[in-house]
A and B are shown apart, each in its own frame.
Chain A
Amino acid sequence: MYDSGKIIPGIILFVGLFTFPLWSNLGKAAPAPKPELPKTEKVCVMDAAFMKTEHMVLLNDWRDKVVREANRVWVGPDGKEYQMSLQNSCMQCHASKTKFCDQCHNYAGVKPYCWECHLEPKENM
C-alpha cells in the first residue's frame, strides 16, 4: 500500500466519525419513556393510537381554529363537544407537562413550540 501515512489515519477518521452513534451511547440505551396517564379519565378526544401519532396535527388544527376563526368548540368523532384549549382541555387531565408531554418529547428529541406562547405550568420537580 502506498501513502499509508495518509490512508490509515484517513480510514480511522472515517470509521470513527461514521460509527459515532455506536460508540457515543457506550452500549447503553436509555429506557423508553413512560408518560403518566390521567387517573380520572379513560378516553381522550380521539383514540390512543391516533393521539400517539397525530396529536400535533390536532393541536395545530385547534390553534388555527381558535386563533384565526375564533371558534372554541370542537366536536369529536363520537359527537361529544369539547372546548379547544390546551390549558383548559388537554391539561385538565394531563396536568403535568414534565410527567406527560416532556417524557416522549425529550426521548424523541422534539422541541414543540407550544410553550413559546402558552405559559408553562409551574411544577416543583
Chain B
Amino acid sequence: MNASRSIIFSLVAVGILVCLPLIGVAAGMTSFFGVIVPYLAVALFFIGVVARVVRWARSPVPFRIPTTCGQQKSFNWIKPDKLDNPWDNKGVVLRMILEVLLFRSLFRNSRMEFYEGPKIRYASAKWLWLGAIVFHYSFLVVLLRHLRFFSEPVSSLVHLLEGVDGFLEVGAPRLYISGLALLAGVAFLFLRRVTIPQLKYISLPSDYFPLFLIFAIAATGVLMRYIYKVDIVSVKELTMGLATFHPVVPEGIGSLFYIHLFLVSVLFAYFPFSKLVHMAGVFLSPTRNLPNNSRMVRHINPWNYPVKVHTYEEYEDEFREKMIEAGLPVEKKE
C-alpha cells in the first residue's frame, strides 16, 4: 500500500473502532463493551505476549551477534569499551539498562544529507530519540496514573506521581502534563513519518494504525477528563469490578468512556501481534543482549549434524602399501 492509502486505511480502521462502542452502547450492550471485551483483550494480551516470547526463545542463537561500537577486549594495554563492546554479563546488563530506559541506540541515530557540491555529510539526528522518550515516558506516567482506578485505597506513589504531573495546578480538574505530552509525542511520531520522504515510502498501515489508535486513546482520555466529563465514581466501580472479578456495570456512564475502554481493549488485544510487542522484544534482541566473547568462549552450533571424518592416519592405513609401491612418502613405514 502506498502512503496515502495506508493513512486512509488506518484512519478508517480507527474510525470504525470508535463507532462500534458508540453504536453498541446506544443499543444497550454496556456489559459487552464494559466487561466481556476488556477481559478478552487482557487475556489475549497475556497469552499472546507469553506465546511470542516462548516462540522467540525456541529459536537458537548459536553465535554471538552483538552490534559492537567500541574497542573489543584484547590485550591488557588496549583499553576496551565496556559498554559498547561488552564481554561479560555485567557489561551486557548495563548496556541493556541504558538501552531500555534511555533508548541509547536511538540517541546514536544519524542522518545523511547532501549539501552544495553535492557533498555527503552525516549529522546527528536526535529528534527521533527525543520524540520517543517523550512518547514512551508520558505513556508510562499515564498508565501508572490509571492505577487509581484499580486499587482502593490508592497508593501514595500514584498520588505522588499525580502531584508531580499536575504541579502546574492549572484549572480543576488539574491539568496533567503527561496527557498533553503523550498527544504531542504521538503527533510528532506521525508527522515525522509523513514529512520525511524516505520514511513515508517505507511506512505501512501497521505503522500508522497504532499511532492513530494511541492518539485516539489519549484524545478520548483528555476529552473525558477536561471537557465531556463522565461520572468518575461509577467508572471506578466498573474498573474495580473488573479488577476483582466481580464485574458490575453501573448505569449512566457516558459513551465516551466506553469508546476509551474499547480502544484500550483493542490496543491490548493488538499488542502481541504487532510491532508494539517490541516491549518484550527489546529484552530478546541478540544484537544487544549478548556479550561479545567469541574469542574467549567456543560457541558450538546446536544443530550441527555429526560429520563423518576420515583422518589422514586412517587414509594412510588404508593405502600404505600402494603409497610405498608408488614411492610416496608415508609417516609410518609399517
B60: chain A residues at CB < 8 Å are 2
CA distance in complex: A107, B237 (Å): 9
> Which residue of the partner chain, among B49, B169, B237, B240, contacts A25 with CB atoms under 8 Å?
B240
CB of A27 within 8 A of chain B?
A: yes
Q: Mark A91-125, 1 if CB is under 8 A from B, else 0.
A: 00000000000001011111111000000000000
Looking across the interface, which residue of chain A has its beta carbon closest to that of B235?
A: A108
A29: contacting residue among B169, B229, B233, B240, CB under 8 A? B240
In contact, A107 and B57 (Cβ under 8 angstroms): no
Q: Once the chains bind, are B154 and A109 in contact (CB under 8 Å)?
A: yes
Q: Are A3 and B162 in contact (CB under 8 A)?
A: no
Within 8 A of B (CB), among A34-64: 52-54, 56-57, 59-60
Taking CB atoms, residues of chain A closer than 8 Å to B57 are: 1-4, 7
Nearest residue (CB) in A for B246 is A29
State whether the Cβ of A67 lies closer than 8 Å to any Cβ in chain B.
Answer: no
Distance, CA A57 to CA B244, complexed state (A): 32
Interface size class on chain B is 35 or more
Question: Provided the pairs A60-B171, A60-B172 are in contact, do residues A1 and B241 lie with their beta carbons within 8 angstroms?
Answer: no
Chain A contact surface mostly: helix
Assembly CA distance A1 to B240 (angstroms): 37
- CB within 8 Å for A109 and B148 given contacts A11-B53, A54-B229, A56-B173: yes
Name the distance in Å between B176's Cβ and chain A's nearest Cβ: 13
Which of the listed residues A19, A21, A32, A109 has the most CB atoms from chain B within 10 Å of its own CB? A109
Is the CB–CB distance between A1 and B58 below 8 Å? yes
Q: How many inter-chain contacts with C-beta < 8 Å in the A-B complex?
A: 97
A52–B233 Cα distance when bound, in Å, is: 9
Contacting residue for B243 out of A7, A22, A104, A113, CB 8 A: A22
A15 to chain B: closest CB distance in Å?
Answer: 6
Knowing A21-B147, A53-B229 touch, does A29 contact B172 (C-beta < 8 A)? no
State whether A18 touches B46 (Cβ < 8 A): yes
| Centre residue among B54, B59, B233 by max chain A CB count within 10 A | B233
Contact call A53/B50, Cβ cutoff below 8 A: no
**Pairwise interchain contact A53-B231, C-beta atoms closer than 8 A:** yes
**A10 located at the interface, meaning its Cβ lies under 8 Å from any Cβ of chain B in the complex:** yes
| Closest chain B residue to A27, Cβ basis | B244
Selected from A14, A32, A108, the residue in CB contact (under 8 A) with B148 is A108
Q: Does A30 contact B (CB under 8 A)?
A: yes
Interface pair A111/B150, CB less than 8 Å apart: no
Which of A's residues lie within 8 Å of B, judged by CB?
1-4, 7, 10-11, 14-15, 18-22, 24-25, 27-30, 32-33, 52-54, 56-57, 59-60, 104, 106-113
Given contacts A2-B61, A14-B50, A25-B150, 14 further A-B contacts (CB under 8 A): A4-B57, A11-B53, A22-B243, A29-B240, A29-B241, A29-B246, A30-B152, A53-B231, A60-B172, A107-B236, A108-B232, A108-B233, A109-B153, A110-B232
Q: Can you name 16 A-B pairs with beta carbons within 8 Å? A: A1-B58, A7-B57, A10-B53, A10-B283, A14-B50, A18-B46, A25-B243, A29-B152, A29-B237, A29-B244, A57-B171, A60-B171, A107-B233, A109-B148, A109-B153, A112-B172
Contact residues of B with A, CB < 8 Å?
Answer: 46, 49-50, 53-54, 57-61, 147-148, 150-154, 158-159, 162-163, 169, 171-174, 229-233, 236-237, 240-241, 243-246, 280, 283
